[in-house]
Structure 1
Amino acid sequence: MRKLEKRWIVLALAIAVLASGVGWQLWSKKNDAPEYKTAKIEKGAITAAVSASGTLSPVVSVQVGSQVSGQLREVLVDFNSEVKQGQLIARIDPQTFEYKVRQAQADLEAARAQELMQQSSLAAQRAQAAQVAVNAANARRDLERKQQLMDKGFISGAERDTVLATYGALAEQVNAANAQVKVAEASARSAAAAIKQREAALAQAKIDLERTAIRAPVNGIVIKRSVEAGQTVAASLQAPELFIIAENLTDMRVDTAIDESEIGRIRNGQNATFTVDAFPGRSFEGSVKQIRKSAQNVSNVVTYMVEVSAPNPTRELLPGMTANVRIVTDKRENVLKVPNAALRFRPSGAQTAVAGGQSSSRQEVQNEGGQQGGQVAALRERMEKELQLSSEQKDKLDAIFAGMRDKRAAARDAAPEERRKIMERNRAEQREQINEILTPEQKKKFEAEFDSVLAEGSRRSGVSAPGRIYVLDENRKPRELQIRTGLSDGRMTEVMGPDIGEGMEVIVGIAQPQAESSSGSTGQRPPGPRMF
């Protein structure tokens, strides 16, 4: 009986061990399948915007300087003083300039006296020339009479020759007298010109004297004062800055730099909001007033200055404040939208591994960061590093980006509908050109890692682009759906497709990590990739 009992005990233990193994296998298989996080497709409005930072400044601010050098005798205004156009705000010691005015007046009087002398000399020369001309005329008549008498034989030829010599001498005297008259006339004109010079010098001296009184050029408020009474200002090369006057602090502006990848979406009149650190939690309204076409290149990042209006009726906003600007570029109502994480999610086996063990969360951060300033530069740097481009490939890639920059600039002034087509065509051409310079291995990495960045740029611009999302089928397995993406606000993206609808759940990440399958496991599961 004991042997039989032992056999039953051994058999029971074997059955228990077998059941335990089967249970473990079933539990492992069940837990091998990851659990997914899902989100519902929503329906509503979506707004695309461009964010940047800028500086508040008055619409019109005038720098007041001095056109003359000297010591400031008095400063009549201070910071925040309201001034009227023409109001005296400072004065330079005028003593030196008063003496210059007196000297110029004296020089003018001397020039006028010199002109009188020259006029008198001219009159004397003209009288002398007239006397010589009369004498010459008498000698000519005497010569004519002597010639008649000689012809009749009443006088000799020698007597006629004496009269002829006298007439010749007087004729030369007439020429000399006329020359002296011309000299006297020139001297008189020179004296008259000297008077004009002295008058101009006197006028200049008076103007310099008036400039010692610094007056406000416009109505406004003094927002900066750079001098004190007793300070010496020098205006040798350029006018020194004394004050800055803001014409109207109730009407201000924000000058903000927009990246070249975003400037194509900015248009005059677009609504904008901005915040300042001085008033946390408050938002101020404005609109785009001007897009300056002069580019700024800093560290190979090209930006364009955009002027945003900033009404300031209560004068709470002050010049120099840093403003965080959000410009609304497009808005859609009543559209289907999903979280961006759903567009980036790829189930295991459907996505090429990231080079160098880069995590999905890091890739997501870089994709999102590519939407900010320097997107093109950041994309080029990533491609160079992760695709291990050769020198020749780097040069060709730079040429591709440079060509796309010109095409983006050409599309900037197109109508919105036409601009979207142009931008979509440009991005497709860009992807094709990049693929042509890559090796087969590099192409796979590019399609897995960087093509989504270009597609994200299309979504943020409102250009329809192909995409895909994953839903759970009846077996709780991911099933791919092909869609078209539209406008994006950086968090949610508009989606279109015949197989999607409001309330449908899409996969946005993995909730439960996969079980450890290797022997010697501690029983704790390694963390899975973060997909959002």
Structure 2
Amino acid sequence: MKFKFNWKIKAALAAVVLIAAAIYGYQYYQGQQEAKKAAAVETVPVTRMNVKSTVSATGTIRPVNSVEVSSKVTARIKSVLVKENDTVTAGQIIATLDATDYEEKRNQAQYKVSNTKAKYDRAKYLYSIGADTQEELEDAKMNYDTAVSALAESQSNMNEMTIVAPMSGVVVGEPQTPGTMAVQGNSSPTVIMRIADMSSKQILAKVDETDIGNVKVGQAATFTVDSFNGKTFTAKVSKISQTDTSNSWNVNTSSSSSSSSSSTASVIYYYVTLDVDDPDNLLLPSMTARVEINTAEKNDALVIPLSTLKTDTNGSYVIVKNADGSQENRYVSTGIYSDEYVEILDGLEEGEQVVSTYVAKGTKTSSKKNDRGGPPPM
């Protein structure tokens, strides 16, 4: 009996030791896993800095004032007195037209005036002595007046043989060459040359409809052009179009194209005009400008990296790592969005740690970025 009793005690003790070892081993394993998990999480502090929100757009450089010089009559160009890049002043003679045909018409009109004047004078005399009727006198007067009007028109056409600069500026592009037929017209006249005032320039930029609400007249902007690498120019918003670039809201103007594009969603853009600072006169018409419009700016703002911000159906939140190593989801109110940071208006304190990266089981450390597709409306 004594042997059996000792055996049972030893078996019970062994079982207790095994159970204790298993519990300790499990707790040790769990502790190690938690330590690894805590070590794998990277955090960034909530900090303060100057933050700026911008709207990106692409536009084209153009002079504020420019004009296309055309002829009011159809005639062949006789001479061009200026060339590309020449500076001209308003009223300066810049080209002449061949006046041969119009001179002949003016001579004929002058002859007709002299002829009808003589007939009118004779009709007046005959009427005064009762030899002509009132009707004959009136016909003679009408013929004379018509001839005078025709002569005035011919003389006006002759005056158009000399082309003068309608404004001061620079000849942009090559003018037409002598011998070219300059055709008059309201729809598609021949452009003899273009003159632009290059002292003041603008950018005509296209801004996406998702950003246009943040753009205001008077906002400052910076831009670059490919021709001057590393140089940044400044500009200011001067005008915001009240209609989109395609006037798609107007069914009368867009009906012809709506049928072909009705099944395809298109991006809506609005024209924004910016006045350009170019004191060195480096920029040329039609250069492509990549614009950054400063829509909001705040100094000493409470911020976190944009990559740490997450969203769900309840709003925007971050994962906060507490002093004891625990983590919690914290909902926040946001303000200005920049390219890399977002302003926090409420929900976080300066110095708190927010989780920026995590490690999934069996994987390497990776950044967990927010896929929210742009800042929400402010």
What TM-score does the superposition give when structure 2 sets the normalisation length?
0.79
Match in the other structure for 1:243:
193
Q: 2:291 aligns with which of 319, 325, 341?
A: 325
Question: Residue 138 of structure 2: SS of its match in structure 1?
Answer: helix
Match in the other structure for 1:57:
62
Question: Residue 112 of structure 1: SS of its match in structure 2?
Answer: helix
TM alignment of 1:315-394, pairs within 5 A = 315-344=281-310
Match in the other structure for 1:476:
325
Shift of 1:85: 1.0
Select the structure of larger CA radius of gyration.
1
Shift of 1:509: 2.3
Q: 1:506 aligns with which of 344, 350, 354?
A: 354
Residue 141 of structure 2 corresponds to residue 192 of structure 1: yes
Match in the other structure for 1:306:
272
Q: Distance in 2 between matches of 1:192 and 1:526?
A: 104
Match in the other structure for 1:160:
none
Question: Residue 154 of structure 2: SS of its match in structure 1?
Answer: helix
Unaligned stretches of 5+ residues in structure 1: 1-14, 127-180, 346-350, 352-446, 452-465, 516-524
The amino acid that maps onto 1:212 is M
Kindly indicate which of the two structures has a greater share of residues assigned to helix: 1
Instruction: Quickly say closer, same or farther: Cα 1:280–1:70, change in 2 above 3 A.
Output: same
Question: Residue 200 of structure 1: SS of its match in structure 2?
Answer: helix
The amino acid that maps onto 1:264 is G
Match in the other structure for 2:369:
531
The amino acid that maps onto 1:110 is N
Instruction: Quickly say closer, same or farther: Cα 1:311–1:93, change in 2 above 3 A.
Output: same
Shift of 1:530: 3.9
Q: Distance in 2 between matches of 1:329 and 1:83?
A: 40
Residue 164 of structure 2 corresponds to residue 215 of structure 1: yes
Q: Distance in 2 between matches of 1:477 and 1:46?
A: 30
Shift of 1:492: 1.1
Question: Residue 268 of structure 1: SS of its match in structure 2?
Answer: coil
Q: Distance in 2 between matches of 1:59 and 1:188?
A: 58
Q: Distance in 1 between matches of 2:352 and 2:208?
A: 36
Instruction: Quickly say closer, same or farther: Cα 1:344–1:294, change in 2 above 3 A.
Output: same
What TM-score does the superposition give when structure 1 sets the normalisation length?
0.57
Give the count of matched residue pairs: 330
% identical aligned pairs: 25
Indicate the larger mover: 307-316 or 225-234: 225-234
TM alignment of 1:41-440, pairs within 5 A = 41-125=46-130, 184-235=133-184, 238-247=188-197, 249-297=198-246, 300-344=266-310
Indicate the larger mover: 253-262 or 194-203: 194-203
Q: Is the 8 A contact 2:357 2:365 kept in 1?
A: no
Q: Is the 8 A contact 2:222 2:234 kept in 1?
A: yes
Unaligned stretches of 5+ residues in structure 2: 1-17, 249-264, 371-378
Q: Distance in 1 between matches of 2:93 and 2:216?
A: 43
Q: Distance in 2 between matches of 1:324 and 1:236?
A: 37
Q: Distance in 2 between matches of 1:209 and 1:343?
A: 74
Match in the other structure for 2:254:
none
Q: Is the 8 A contact 1:34 1:513 kept in 2?
A: no
Q: Any idea what the Cα deviations from partners look like across 1:174-229, whole Å, max 9, x if unmatched?
A: xxxxxxx7xx2233233223222222211211121121211111111001234112
Q: Distance in 1 between matches of 2:56 and 2:176?
A: 39
Shift of 1:474: 4.3
Instruction: Quickly say closer, same or farther: Cα 1:313–1:334, change in 2 above 3 A.
Output: same
Residue 340 of structure 2 corresponds to residue 491 of structure 1: yes
Shift of 1:478: 2.4
Instruction: Quickly say closer, same or farther: Cα 1:251–1:259, change in 2 above 3 A.
Output: same
Runs (4+) of structure 1 exceeding 6 A deviation are: none
Q: Is the 8 A contact 1:225 1:242 kept in 2?
A: no
Q: Any idea what the Cα deviations from partners look like across 1:446-504, whole Å, max 9, x if unmatched?
A: x3xxx8xxxxxxxxxxxxxx53211113453421222211111232111023x522232
Match in the other structure for 1:379:
none
Instruction: Quickly say closer, same or farther: Cα 1:336–1:526, change in 2 above 3 A.
Output: closer
Q: Is the 8 A contact 2:61 2:201 kept in 1?
A: yes
Q: Distance in 1 between matches of 2:365 and 2:351?
A: 29
Shift of 1:246: 0.5
Instruction: Quickly say closer, same or farther: Cα 1:116–1:276, change in 2 above 3 A.
Output: same
Instruction: Quickly say closer, same or farther: Cα 1:323–1:65, change in 2 above 3 A.
Output: same
